[in-house]
Amino acid sequence: MGWFWADALPARATAQATAPHPIPTNGAEPPPGCPMHKSSATAAPSSPPPPPSASQSFTQAATSTTQSSTAPSPPPPETPSYISILNPLNYMPASIANTREHEDQTVNLPLSREPSTIPRGDGEGTWQYPSPQQMYNALLRKGYTDTPAEHVEEMVAVHNFLNEGAWNEVKEWERRFSGGLAKGWEACRRGEGGAQTWWRGGDDEEEPSLLRFMGRPGDMTPKARMLAFMAKVYPSQFPNNPPFDRHDWFVERRTRAGEKREVRYVIDYYSGPPEPTGEPVFYLDVRPAVDGPTAAVERAMRWGGDVWYRASGASVREELAKREQRR
């Protein structure tokens, strides 16, 4: 669900995509012999060699034919792989046309692109969402030829809404843990509700940025696999509702010390029962990928801190303390 397009690739990436492995030239010949080794023009000409016999001519011709037939042919030029022509920032084709290309399209789609609120990792503003026409062309390129063109505008609106929600969740994680585990625990031990009121950020707090991302709808996360297994074992307690999409977002974390570190986030997209008015409902499960012990501790802190906060009655004690202060 997270499709963005970079306006242009860096020159270095483009050069690597067009010719990742230069083909060596096989027709090179050795340089000519040194002129000092040639016979002098004033030297006495030597007598010409006797003409070869018929048997010698036949043997030389046969040898020449055998050598020419067994000489290796030059290798065919290498064809760039599909991965090498993709945009490394979003693993999509480097250029998606923003024009009407297919004859089966029955309606005209808007060509304007909406900017997102997600900062780019290269510092060049924010990511841009695809236009409805670009989205439709991308769907056809991926093989979704049964997509009605008249529904693409609504799909783009939902697509943009979900990605903005996913980025807000990423910022909540970064707000807690960009300053270290100690600061993260100060927020997490107050539960989800208390962390919102605890935050006292200033203007010097740097917002994270999105370096790149990739969609992986066919690869279920370990958490999604576990929930699917629990739905089979306990169908009354766990709904059988696997995610319809998955994304990996690579975020640049910026600490107060000025350090930068890449953090991978995994996002599972779930659909829920529609509202009574017919509006669709979606759920997002955003968390840092367990690529190391730090990410595992962050996830345990946020989940365990909220559970402990509610189970220990801390919310009730805080509410009673607020009432005492009002008296």
**Over the stretch 259-274, which tens digit does the pLDDT of each residue have?**
899 999 999 999 988 8
**20 found inside a domain:** no
**5 found inside a domain:** no
**12 found inside a domain:** no
Amino acid type, 73: S
- Per the structure, the complete domain to which residue 253 belongs is given by 111-326
The pLDDT, as a whole number, for residue 279 is 85
Ramachandran angles phi, psi of 32, nearest 5°: -65, 160
pLDDT-based confidence at residue 208 (cuts at 50, 70, 90): very high
**213 found inside a domain:** yes
Q: How far is CA 85 from CA 17, 19, 94, 143, 188, in A?
A: 5, 10, 7, 18, 43
**310 found inside a domain:** yes
Average pLDDT over residues 302-325: 82
Using a pLDDT cut of 70, give the percent of the chain over it. 68
Model confidence at 69: pLDDT above 90: no
Model confidence at 316: pLDDT above 70: yes
**164 found inside a domain:** yes
Model confidence at 301: pLDDT above 70: yes
Average pLDDT over residues 201-205: 55
The pLDDT, as a whole number, for residue 96 is 66
pLDDT-based confidence at residue 164 (cuts at 50, 70, 90): very high
Q: How far apart are CA 325 and CA 327, in angstroms?
A: 6
Higher pLDDT, 229 or 50: 229
Torsion 308-309-310-311 (CA) sign: positive
pLDDT-based confidence at residue 189 (cuts at 50, 70, 90): confident
How many domains does the chain fold into? 1
**65 found inside a domain:** no
Say if residues 225 and 268 touch (Cβ distance below 8 Å): no
72-86, 180-194, 201-215: which has the minimum mean pLDDT?
Answer: 72-86
Higher pLDDT, 48 or 180: 180
The pLDDT, as a whole number, for residue 273 is 87
The pLDDT, as a whole number, for residue 24 is 42
The pLDDT, as a whole number, for residue 50 is 53
Torsion of CA 27, 32, 33, 39, to 10 degrees: 130
Model confidence at 286: pLDDT above 80: yes
**309 found inside a domain:** yes
Q: What angle do CA 63, 64, 67 make, to 5 degrees?
A: 85
Interacting residues of 213 by C-beta distance below 8 A, sequence separation 6+: 2, 4, 89, 90, 91, 247, 248, 249, 250
Q: How far apart are CA 69 and CA 193, in angstroms?
A: 81
Helix (H) or strand (E) holding 92: strand 92-93
Average pLDDT over residues 235-250: 91
Alpha helices in the chain (DSSP H): 11-18, 54-70, 132-141, 152-177, 181-188, 191-198, 222-233, 293-311, 314-326
Average pLDDT over residues 81-106: 59
pLDDT-based confidence at residue 59 (cuts at 50, 70, 90): very low
Residue 282 is encoded by which pair of tokens? 């979606």
Q: How far apart are CA 141 and CA 320, in angstroms?
A: 60
Model confidence at 140: pLDDT above 70: yes
50-54, 125-129, 294-298, 318-322: which has the minimum mean pLDDT?
Answer: 50-54
- Report the SS3 class of residue 139: helix
Model confidence at 88: pLDDT above 70: no
- pTM for this model (two decimals): 0.68
Model confidence at 133: pLDDT above 50: yes
Model confidence at 106: pLDDT above 90: no
Please give the mean pLDDT across all residues of the chain: 75
The pLDDT, as a whole number, for residue 190 is 84
The pLDDT, as a whole number, for residue 73 is 58
